Amino acid sequence: MVKEIHLIGIGGVSMSGIASVLLDRGYRVTGSDLKTSKYMQNLAANGAKIQLEHQANNLHNPDIVVISSAIPKDNPELVEAQKRGIPIYKRAEILAKLMQNQKTIAIAGTHGKTTTTSMLAVMADNAGLDPSIMVGGLVPELGGNIQNGSGKYFITEADESDGSFLYFDPSYAVLTNLEFDHPDFYEDENKLREIFYEFIEKVPDAGKIFINHDDPFLAEIVNEDDPRLLTFGIEGGVFQAKNINYQTTKTSFDLYAGMDRLGQINLLVPGQHNVYNALAAVSVALSMEISFETIKNTLSNFKGAGRRFEKKGLLRNEDILIIDDYAHHPTEIKTTLKAARQSKYQRIIAIFQPHRYSRTESLYNDFVAAFASADLVIITDIYGAGESPRQIDMEQFTCDIQQNSRVEAVYISDFSDIKLYLDEHLKQGDLVLTLGAGDVYQVGEMLLKSDTDQKKVGG
């Protein structure tokens, strides 16, 4: 009988969420990570025993060990667990076990998983369904990224990065879009499509598969006559957005189900990508028999998930806006910059921290052409995410961005130096956008703290 569970890499948003659910369900939880986080502080306050380093003696007598995808094979705790014959589970594997007694709704795809999952989770919560929830980002309406509900649904992201989403047995599967990413795991686009096909084939005959009608890659892995299939889109689909109105920080559209207009949807989040995210969430919510009134009211108040075009604050008499976004793929960068360009701000200053050496290397040509909607781009060092460093010339990468995106670009390694550079170059009417899946958000926080400190001194 499993009583104690040890999590290696417990500090990340997903692993900490799993740890929180385990605590709620009565397990003893221990874990480790290399640096502290607010998630770890919350876990410790709720009884988890956590060490701020990876070493073999962190393992006491766990019944099982759970590892995040970032843990290398030579991690001393992993090696010790293998030596002692302790069962080892991947993150998705243990999450799948937590779902066993509930109806799983799994949201997969290259982009938009977190926002779509967040939208649907809040809709279901507002409808009184008390779902269990696992989201890869903070959701203000939920007060976090997890919920251990007693209802029949478990709503979760399905992360394709290492293929481990195949552990899930979804009743409903949602595919937001499909594009080549994670070259550290997938050999090529064909392998990616094969695994996504395996994923949707796990949906039972009585289940449902929700597909973005407008995505050409998804069309290659589905049979349009499949009775499980429901589509959503802008160009077409069973559920369709028409009469879209894009504004500075919000969007509205008319929602159609077939030929029937259900009503207008108003979003507090900008951009075409969020129309697609909303359509995906709405399609599932309607299939769950959540009322259109609840759907509409939820979306009209939904402020977005953490690190998804998240407003961090205003500088210098509220004339300069700081936004943070998790975008770490060329398509996500283009989409986020396009949404920023629709704002009232005069200049878009993008600070980009590449995520993973393998992704930067594999998608190099796409990255250097992705910044055309910015006015100034600041490049900083690659966030390795556990990968061994590779020789990538960041000065040359920056020059290539300047040439291919036709935008002014500078390379600055240190966050403190980026802050000093911006102190000198920021102007009234600028929008500063930190981009990347690492810790680049700290630059925005440094700017805001400095501005607050100056106001205190001036006051």
Q: 3-state SS string over 167-207?
A: HCCCCEEEECCCCCCCCCCCCCHHHHHHHHHHHHHCCCCCC
Residue with tokens 């929008």: 431
What amino acid is encoded at 325 in this protein? D
Alpha-carbon distance 135 to 153, whole Å? 14
* Burial class (CB within 10 angstroms; exposed 0-12, middle 13-18, buried 19+) of 219: middle
157 is a catalytic site residue: yes
What amino acid is encoded at 427 in this protein? K
Tokens coding 172? 């409903």
**Extended beta strands in 289-429, E state:** 310-315, 320-325, 347-352, 376-379, 408-411
From 30, 110, 113, 434, the catalytic residue: 113
**Extended beta strands in 205-309, E state:** 208-212, 229-233, 239-246, 251-257, 260-267
Alpha-carbon distance 341 to 272, whole Å? 13
Give CA torsion, residues 162, 208, 280, 131, to 10 deg: -80
From 110, 116, 157, 334, the catalytic residue: 157
113 is a catalytic site residue: yes
Dihedrals φ, ψ of 218, to 5°? -65, -35
From 114, 115, 231, 398, the catalytic residue: 114
114 is a catalytic site residue: yes
Residue 340 is given by DSSP the state H
Residue 41 is given by DSSP the state H
Tokens coding 384? 């390795």
Positions marked active-site: 113-114, 157
